[in-house]
Structure formats: C-alpha cells, structure tokens
Chain A
Amino acid sequence: MVGFVVLAVVAVAIFLWAIGAYNGLIALKNQTLNAWKQIDVQLKRRHDLIPNLVETVKGAMNFERETLDAVISARNKAITATTSASPQNVKGAAEAEAALSGALGRLLAVVEAYPNLKATANVGQLQEELTSTENKISFARQLYNDTATHYNTKQQQFPTSLVVGWAGAMPAELWEITDQAERAVPKVDLGFGKR
C-alpha cells in the first residue's frame, strides 16, 4: 500500500513537471514567433520605402543608373525571399536582405557625394527614415536572435529536452549577417559607374 502511494506521488510530480516544461516551451515558441513578426514588419517597411527613395533621387542621379538598378533588383529579390522565410528557414531571407542593405548603403554613400541633392529637404528626410528603418531591422533581429537562442537552449537542456517532441518545438535558426563585407560602410566611388 505504501509503495503504491509513493508511486502515485512520483507519477503526479512527473506529470506536473511535464506540464510546466511543456507550457514553458510553448511560451518561448510564441515569443520567438512574435520576435520574428517584428523583423517582418520592419522589412516590409523598408521594402515600401525604397520606391519612394529611388523616385526622389532618380532625376538628379542619371550617372548612377547602375547603383539605382542594383537597389531595385535587390529589393525585388528580398521581397521574394522573405515571403518564404520562417524561423526554420532563415538563410535565404537573411542573405537577400543583407544584399539589399549593401546596395542601399552604396546608394546612400553616393547621395553623400551630391551635396546639392543632399540639401534637398526631401532627401535628408528620406535618409533619416532609411537609417531609422535599418536600425529597427537590426534591433528587431537582435531581439529575435536573443529570444531564439533562449528557446533553443531550453530545448537542448535536460530534462526539458524530454518533452520537446510532445510540445512540437523545433530549433529556430538565428538571423545571421552572412556577409560581413555587405555590412561594412561602403567607400564612395567617385569614378562614376566604374564598379
């Protein structure tokens, strides 16, 4: 009889622990998804901002057709890449977005080389908007990476690792900056268009 009671107590304790671990994983999964959505919102903002920017600078920058085209094509690729992305499939989107960041950086550097273009209030405001959006993307990515790391760690740690299958938890990929060169501040190329 005593043995039976001990067994029952142990079973109840394990059951309660499993529920707690399960709920913890679900909460983290939702936090990760939410952080992912945050990146998505900011990326969409950036995609929407670009046609505006291109339209504004186009007239004054006939020499820089190539730079502008690079931005437009990078944007279109990024839009396609992000629609198919998810926390389990980050790589393509991260690469496309990094390429877009690089192209935009080059465009902004070129804009710097045209003082009268920069003096147009509209361009100054667009530049600020773009800088802000870039920052929002990187902070959203920072939040996502922190949350995803936490989620992944919990999944791998014993004994939580025992309920991973039950909770349907899957490791989340981090949003890494693939090409460090793309992130570096680009040099202003004064030999117009000879890239």
Chain B
Amino acid sequence: MAKDKTRDIDNSTVNDGSHAIRRFSIGDFLIILILVILCLTCVLPFIHLAAKSVSSNTAVMQRAVVLWPVGLNFDAYASIFQDGSLVRSFLYSVVVVAIFTLLGMITCTCAAYPLSKKRLKGRAFFTVLLMIPMYFNAGLIPSYLLYKDLHLLNNMWVLILPLIYSSYNMLIMKNYFQSTIPDTLEEAAFLDGANNFQILFRIVLPLSLPIIATLSLFYAVGRWNAYADNKYYITSEGLKMIQYKLYQLVASATEAQTATLSEAIEVKSTPEVLQAACIMFATLPIICIYPFLQKYFVKGVMIGAVKG
C-alpha cells in the first residue's frame, strides 16, 4: 500500500497535471471562496448559538452576542444537568435510536436479500408491493387509530416499529446485493452445502459492511432527527425524544405571541440562553461522532448508487 502511494506521487510529479496543482488560479480561489462561504453558513449559526449558550441573559437580550460570549456564565448548562430531564431524554433517545437501527437493518436485510435473488418466484410483484409505502401512506388520523388499536400509543415502540421498514433503504440494499455479490459466489456456496441463511450470514453480509454502515447511519440519523411522531403519539414526558423537546422549546418561543394574545396573559417561552444551551447539549455529541462515521457515509452512497 505504501509502495503504491509512493508510485502515485512519483507519477504525479512527472505528469503535466502537477503544474495545475502548483499553480493557484483564480478559479481555484473562487472555488475555495464559495466552499468557505458555504461552510460558514453552517458553522457560523452554530458558533453563534454556542456563544449565546454561555453568555449572560442580559447580553443575549441586548443582542450583544455574535460569535463570542459576553458575560460568560454556564448557568444554563448547570440547570440542564441539575434538572436532569434533558439528560434522561438524551439517553432514552440513544436507546430508541439503537433499537430502531438494529431492527431497521434486520427488516431491511430480510426484505432486500430475497428480492435481490432471481430464483425468488414473484420477485417483481413483491418488489412493487414493498415499494408502495414509498409513495403512499395512510395519513395521520388512520395511523393514529391503527396505533391506538395496537396499543402502541404513548409507548416507546410507537417510535420504533412503524418506521423500521423503509422502501428507500431496502432498494439501495437490494441494488447493492445485486451489483456487488456475484451469483457464482452463491452457487459455489450452494455446492458446498450451504443453505440460504448460511449464505446470507456467512457470505453476503460480511461482504456488505459498507452498505450496512451507510444504511445504519441513514436509519440512525433519520430517527434522531424525526420528531413529529412524538407530537402525535406520545404524551408522557418520559417517553419524548430529545429532538421533540427541542422542537417544543423553539416552537413555544415562536408561538408565544399568538398564545399570549389568546390567553390575554404573557406566555413566557424558555429563555434564549437556556434554549441555546439545550440545542448545544443535544447536538454536540452527534457532531463529535459524525466525522468518524462520515467515511462510511460517502463510500456507501457511491457503492449503492452505481450498478456495475
């Protein structure tokens, strides 16, 4: 591997292309500039929020905090940890996301693997059937009634079971199996006496780690960020995921004015400093984990996308 790298570098010095690398053109400058601006649009709001979360309430109300804290204090974080409900909610969300991702991957694999095999009779029919949820869904109230009859309301499983099957993820996985695992490999295994399960677990899955990592990430991030189902199906405070709590924090701030008018009394929203601290608290761990997972993310999407 090290040798290959050296050879690449040697070649690049010989090729004319190296000239382009050394010369820094206006085009490069523009590209870098655009990239920097794009990066800043993501990073600056985050830094602004971080600065607010450790500033004094007065400074935040004065709009004096931009990218650097004013009147440094950590009271908001202290109250988050003291109160404990957000910390509990965070841990609970991690558990829900973990179970969801595990079950989601099992469901996805169980659907994608058979559908990727030509020997499955009625393959086209089942594929179409399993793609229907991608285009149609029952709507809010029928779903609510269904979950009620299934006794799923106000239950952790309502956040897990309804969404574990995803047509989109299943199609990516099916496509991956079809394009990457040669049929001959399977035939050889059959000749050696392996059955379907053995082939799946001992041959196909070990060869599919990139797509498993990617789809797991899709599942986990999707679940982590979704909150609408919390709003409709969960009422107990202890069963609410952290993203929903954040949504409530922010929504109550924007809705406070209308509510105030309707109630003819001030409806106070959570102070901005505490809001910022809550958002930081919920986001930082994800941001810390993301760079380590990102390599799978990019690789997996490319593998799943190109058939060949």
Question: Are these two chains actual partners, yes or no?
Answer: no
